[in-house]
Chains A and B, each alone.
Chain A
Amino acid sequence: MNIKLISLTIASFLCQVALAQETCFTNYTAMADSMNAKMLALEKAHGLPDINTVKSHVLEHFQLDADAKSEPLNLPKARRKQLTPAQIYQLCKPSTLSVVMMRKNAKETSGYESKIMATAIALTEDGVCLTNFHVVADLVLSGAMKYSSKVEHQRYIMTADGKTYPISKILYGDPGNDWAVIRVNTLGDKLSPIPLGNTAKEGEPVWCLSMPKGYPYVFTEGIVSRNTANLNKKTGEKTYVMEITADYARGSSGGPIIDQYGNLCGMVSSTLALYGDQAKMINFQMSMKKTVPVFLFSEYLTKKD
């Protein structure tokens, strides 16, 4: 009897340990598989507009001028305590969002399919988010010209816990520095915003959390390798780039670059592959990771009268 009880207790304990360890693993495939149906159900339940309707109103809300300022936002306060990488990941994962495109199903005559195309960052609980201009440029450009897509049905974000919300407005775009502020319709739910930090200097550690090639929540570490200011000879405007060594790839666009306190210090923008023979793209040597420094968007987001 006692032996039976002890055996049961041990078995139960081992199960709990296994379960606890299993919770460290996320089934991203299941998440990705269900996002399309979730978004369609949400759309139906709330009568949400499709992406063409959103696009047709794009110029009504879209700001472009350097001296434009955001509507007053309830931004979270910057974190002050130095964190471990594991803590940074845990804290910042809920603020990191997948940008998903829902298109007509290519294989079937009806129905839709969704694909993670980029990353976005929650800035406020009520749905103001940050991403790259190039992630939403097609919406702005085709919307401005009143062009409706026959293929794309919805552009939405998915949170780390698998909730989906549609993009409802493009609020601001800086094509030169490649960042845009968007609004998603949270339907009253609250997002987990990341606080804005300060510009990181060369040599300071940074982390990147993003969706390279649609693989959700890949966390990488690096340092700031170079901060550069460039004069755009075409417009006379200055552009700024924070180059880092943390890895990322296509699909990471719009991903947060996080400092050691868990604050946002930049956003993924692009990569530049350097080859021995640049023109022929032979003999790959290194990849420069170009990100948008935080001061560019914090200036817009926190500007006051």
Chain B
Amino acid sequence: MASLPLSAQENKKNAYQEYLNKMKEESKTFYADADSAHYGIKYRWKYRFNKQYGLTYEEDRCVLVAPDVTLDMPYQKIGERNWMRKNPDDGATKQDSNLAYRLTPSFYFYYPKEKHLKKTYRIVDEEFLLGDTIVAPQWKYSETTRIVGDYVCHKAEGTVGGRKWTVWYTTELPFTAGPRTLVGLPGVVIEAKDEAGEIEWTYTGTIKNTPEEKLHILFPRHFSPIPLADFPKIKKVFALSRKSYIDQSGLATRRKTVLPEKLYPYTGIDACVIDNPIER
């Protein structure tokens, strides 16, 4: 019996499935020697960057936690596309820039034993190593406790990067972790605020490492040969440019490969253009 020809829609569906399979295969190779995080903490990061107009930058970030390394990175799942899918009537013209569909492709690898913090930044598929410093803040611990999410949290205060912080950390989760430079506590930071009320990390959930959705921590194997002196200008022009400009530039497709599923966000277009918001 002769098989019926496939419809255009079926062809499209098959092509997409093929693409997903290829992406999974590439992902396996890409993350072959990566650390596997035991779990992740998801935060809503808010930065009140303009008091004159009352503007706040918001973004969903997460910290992936493994025994020897933690990674603060953007949380892709609540992305612009998802937001648009959920709000179809608002179209492209009514997007609220305050909503947390912005993603800054900055990555903070912290090695607790060595107290090393390595900051990397990805623009499209080009990795930049921006810093490798020792970070060991001094914390003042308090007896005060409160429940945040499902965890009993302890209060600690300290000065990091020119700002005074109040953090709430829990010892109910294994290992030690915190966003960016808020590290070195005897537990995992669940919430943090600075004294000026400009920056805060609010707990929004715990991410599980499952066989279907593995949480990889992979320090980039290669860094861009582009001089770091050019980085601020490059970052700014990419952050200000629309996605269509990047598409036209050919950068997104210059390497003939399917991007591994975890290699997100792959552009800097939604990057926060406000420089150095944490360290004063």
Q: Is the CB of A233 within 8 A of B96?
A: yes
Pick the contact of A279 from B91, B225, B250 — CB < 8 Å?
B91
Which B residues from 78 to 100 make CB contacts under 8 A with A? 88-89, 91, 93, 96-98
* Chain A proximity mask over B102-117: 1 for CB below 8 Å, otherwise 0: 1000000000000000
In whole angstroms, how far apart are the Cα atoms of A231 and B226 in the complex? Answer: 33
Q: Is the CB of B55 within 8 A of A236?
A: yes
In whole angstroms, how far apart are the Cα atoms of A278 and B94 in the complex? Answer: 11
Given contacts A64-B233, A279-B89, contact A141 B238 (CB under 8 A): yes
Q: Is the CB of B226 within 8 A of A137?
A: no
Which B residues from 223 to 278 make CB contacts under 8 A with A? 225-226, 230, 233-234, 236-238, 240-242, 244-246, 248-251, 254, 273-274
Pick the contact of B55 from A138, A147, A233 — CB < 8 Å?
A233
Q: Is the CB of A147 within 8 A of B249?
A: yes
Given contacts A141-B245, A145-B226, A236-B55, contact A278 B91 (CB under 8 A): yes
Q: Is the CB of A232 within 8 A of B97?
A: yes
A133 partner residues in chain B, CB cutoff 8 A = 245
B53 partner residues in chain A, CB cutoff 8 A = 231, 236
A276 located at the interface, meaning its Cβ lies under 8 Å from any Cβ of chain B in the complex: no
A201 located at the interface, meaning its Cβ lies under 8 Å from any Cβ of chain B in the complex: no
A203 located at the interface, meaning its Cβ lies under 8 Å from any Cβ of chain B in the complex: no
* B234 nearest CB across to chain A (Å): 5
Pick the contact of B233 from A62, A134, A147, A236 — CB < 8 Å?
A62
Pick the contact of B57 from A142, A234, A279 — CB < 8 Å?
A234
Name the residue on A nearest B231 (C-beta): A144
> Which interface residue of A62, A142, A175, A234 has the most chain B CB atoms within 10 A?
A234
Q: Is the CB of A138 within 8 A of B237?
A: no
Name the residue on A nearest B52 (C-beta): A236
B188 located at the interface, meaning its Cβ lies under 8 Å from any Cβ of chain A in the complex: no
Q: Is the CB of A234 within 8 A of B237?
A: no
Which A residues from 127 to 143 make CB contacts under 8 A with B? 133-134, 137-138, 140-142
A5 partner residues in chain B, CB cutoff 8 A = none
Name the residue on A nearest B56 (C-beta): A233
Q: Is the CB of B97 within 8 A of A144?
A: no
B31 located at the interface, meaning its Cβ lies under 8 Å from any Cβ of chain A in the complex: no
In whole angstroms, how far apart are the Cα atoms of A233 and B102 in the complex? Answer: 12
B194 located at the interface, meaning its Cβ lies under 8 Å from any Cβ of chain A in the complex: no
In whole angstroms, how far apart are the Cα atoms of A165 and B57 in the complex? Answer: 44
* B98 nearest CB across to chain A (Å): 6
A45 located at the interface, meaning its Cβ lies under 8 Å from any Cβ of chain B in the complex: no
Name the residue on A nearest B248 (C-beta): A138
Q: Is the CB of B102 within 8 A of A234?
A: yes
Q: Is the CB of A145 within 8 A of B97?
A: no
A7 located at the interface, meaning its Cβ lies under 8 Å from any Cβ of chain B in the complex: no
Q: Is the CB of B93 within 8 A of A147?
A: no
Name the residue on A nearest B87 (C-beta): A279
A175 partner residues in chain B, CB cutoff 8 A = 237, 240-242, 245
- By size class, the interface of chain B is 35 or more
Q: Is the CB of A146 within 8 A of B226?
A: yes
Q: Is the CB of B251 within 8 A of A142?
A: yes
A235 located at the interface, meaning its Cβ lies under 8 Å from any Cβ of chain B in the complex: yes
Q: Is the CB of A145 within 8 A of B248?
A: no
Q: Is the CB of A141 within 8 A of B251?
A: yes
Q: Is the CB of A235 within 8 A of B240?
A: yes
B55 partner residues in chain A, CB cutoff 8 A = 231, 233, 236
A76 located at the interface, meaning its Cβ lies under 8 Å from any Cβ of chain B in the complex: no
* B68 nearest CB across to chain A (Å): 33
Q: Is the CB of B91 within 8 A of A145?
A: no
A138 partner residues in chain B, CB cutoff 8 A = 245, 248-250
Q: Is the CB of A145 within 8 A of B233?
A: no
In whole angstroms, how far apart are the Cα atoms of A232 and B233 in the complex? Answer: 19
B175 located at the interface, meaning its Cβ lies under 8 Å from any Cβ of chain A in the complex: no
A254 partner residues in chain B, CB cutoff 8 A = none
* Chain A proximity mask over B47-65: 1 for CB below 8 Å, otherwise 0: 0011011010100000000
In whole angstroms, how far apart are the Cα atoms of A92 and B232 in the complex? Answer: 39
In whole angstroms, how far apart are the Cα atoms of A173 and B236 in the complex? Answer: 11
B123 located at the interface, meaning its Cβ lies under 8 Å from any Cβ of chain A in the complex: yes
A149 partner residues in chain B, CB cutoff 8 A = 250
* B67 nearest CB across to chain A (Å): 36
Q: Is the CB of B250 within 8 A of A140?
A: no
Pick the contact of A233 from B98, B226, B249 — CB < 8 Å?
B98
Q: Is the CB of B241 within 8 A of A145?
A: no
B93 partner residues in chain A, CB cutoff 8 A = 272, 278
Which A residues from 268 to 287 make CB contacts under 8 A with B? 272, 278-279
Known: A175-B241, A278-B91. 19 other contacts (CB 8 A): A59-B234, A64-B237, A133-B245, A134-B245, A137-B241, A137-B249, A141-B245, A141-B251, A142-B250, A144-B237, A145-B226, A145-B234, A146-B225, A147-B250, A173-B237, A233-B96, A234-B57, A236-B49, A236-B52
6 A-B residue pairings within 8 Å (CB atoms): A64-B233, A138-B249, A141-B249, A147-B251, A232-B97, A235-B273
Ranked 8 nearest A-B pairs via Cβ: A233-B97, A137-B245, A175-B240, A236-B50, A141-B249, A138-B249, A142-B249, A138-B248
Taking Cβ atoms with an 8 Å cutoff, the residues of A that contact B are: 59, 62, 64, 133-134, 137-138, 140-142, 144-147, 149, 173, 175-176, 231-236, 272, 278-279
